[in-house]
Amino acid sequence: MFLNNKSLLKVSALALLCAPLYPGLGVAQEGVDGLPPQPAPVQVSLPEEVPTAPLDVVQPEPVVEQTAIIEEVQSKPVPVPHSGTYYDSASIGPSELGASAGPRKVDPRYEPGSRFVVVKKNASASSRQATIVAAQRALKLQRYSSALELYENLYKKNRKDKQVLMGLAVSQQYNGFNESAIATYEELLKIDPRNSGAMVNLMGLLDKRQPEVAYRKLQELWSKNGRNPAVAAQLGLVSARVGNFEDAARYLGVATSLEPDNALNYYNLAIVMDQAKSHDVAIEYYQKALEVDVAYGGGKSIPREQVYDRLAELRRL
């Protein structure tokens, strides 16, 4: 996907306005005067909610989402010698109809067909663990104001908790409080300088005001963590913003290979190629973005109507 000098000269005057880093607060808008739409925002690196992170990102220690653990106990039957005494069933039954026979204890050693469940409570409803789980669920359900309130309360109790700081920054970012989110990400990175998720999100917020600084810092991050698709995708968008379309195409291409089930990577790569006047390649990636969106994004991860409109325009060229 090497772009020749002639193509770069033609597109050097084009303004590539990258949307904010977080989805949902500004989907890519269609361009004017026949230009392709803007790149879609890279997905925000969320605070961890399950033991295994979706990306190779150093993130805060995970919190087990379950507030109760269910254990099922079943053992092999142990033979019991017969006592030699037989009982009549009437002598051990209820003395009269309507008598209540309460529940009895069951020993699986003697009654192997029986099972019982033991429920152990791990945390109270007001504990830190339960509150973090509630905040993570609020983010997942896009109830950003509720998530922000929960994380703010946690932050008041412990201002050095890396997981709380990450959740607070993401909540601030989703609610549009970008200045507060920047300050919180910087506060987190002072405690955890290797947190690449926080760095990627921070660079996404800074790339509009200081794209050269964001580009340099993302390159440093990429040299240390070259297998992170979020870093590659964000670096591709920032490269396009500073006018380096060749690097933009290269890094977004890497992002698609590292994360082939993310339609946003193909969509952004298509837009970069579109603005570089490589229309045949752009059509190919627009179509690929639509396919991946249906397969993995539920048809909602990219602006499909805009893609269809742009494809119709490109096919007429």
Mean pLDDT of the chain: 74
Q: What are phi and psi of 68, to 5 degrees?
A: -145, 140
State the Cα–Cα distance between residues 71 and 62, nearest whole angstrom.
Answer: 22
How many CB atoms sit inside 10 A of residue 229's CB?
23
Q: What is the pLDDT of residues 31-62, one digit of tens each?
A: 434 556 666 666 667 666 533 333 333 333 33
Distances (CA, A) of 184 to 32, 109, 128: 36, 56, 19
Whole-number pLDDT of residue 48: 62
- Per residue in 142-198, pLDDT (tens digit) is 899 999 999 999 999 999 999 999 999 999 999 999 999 999 999 999 999 888 889
For the chain, domains (ranges, CATH) are 10-53+209-317 (1.25.40.10), 118-194 (1.25.40.10)
Number of neighbours of residue 200 by Cβ within 10 angstroms: 28
Q: What type of residue is 299?
A: G
* Alpha-carbon 159 to chain mean position: 24
pTM equals 0.57
**Residues 6+ away with beta carbon under 8 Å from 276:** 3, 7, 8, 11, 245, 249
Rg over alpha carbons for the chain, rounded to the nearest Å, is: 28
Dump pLDDT digits (tens) for 122-145.
666 678 889 999 999 999 998 999
Q: b/e for 35-63, b at 16 or more Cβ within 10 A?
A: ebbbbbbbbbbbbbbeeebebebbbbebb
Collapsed DSSP state (helix, strand, coil) of residue 43 = coil
Q: Helix H segments across 95-228?
A: 128-140, 144-157, 162-174, 178-191, 196-206, 211-224
Q: In b/e form, how buried is each residue of 236-253, taking b as 16+ CB within 10 angstroms?
A: bbbbbbbbbbbbbbbbbb
Kindly state the tokens that stand for 317: 């060229």
